Amino acid sequence: MNNLDDIVKSYKELPIFIKLILAMPGIDSFSGGIYRIAKGKLLAGILWIALGWAIFWILDIISIVKYNDMVYFA
């Protein structure tokens, strides 16, 4: 197992309230971007880092509440 797989596995094991904290505006642009890059979605990760603070964090909160994971563009 490599480091990127460890990041994805560690995120999936977090409790939902920690995932919601990581999905807050400002934090989500980095945590969501790194998570998407670790899953192999380089372009989505870069876009999330650049634009996640503006509107994409809303998608992450919705997907965490609904699916307990980041599912949009990941």
Tokens of 55: 């509107």
Residue 7 lies in a domain: no
User: Long-range contacts made by residues 8-16, C-beta under 8 angstroms, separation at least 24?
Assistant: 8/35, 8/38, 8/39, 11/35, 11/38, 12/69, 16/64, 16/68
- The predicted model scores a pTM of 0.87
Residue 11 in any domain: the answer is: no
pLDDT of residue 2: 79
Whether 57 maps to a domain, the answer reads yes
Residue 11, pLDDT > 60, answer yes
| Mean of pLDDT values over 55-66 | 91
Average pLDDT estimate for 6-34? 92
Q: How many domains does the chain have?
A: 1
Residue 4 has pLDDT above 90, yes or no: no
pLDDT on residue 56? 84
* Residue-range definition of the domain harbouring residue 58: 16-67
Assess contact for 64 and 17: CB atoms under 8 A. no
Query: Tens of pLDDT along 28-46?
Result: 889 999 999 999 999 999 9
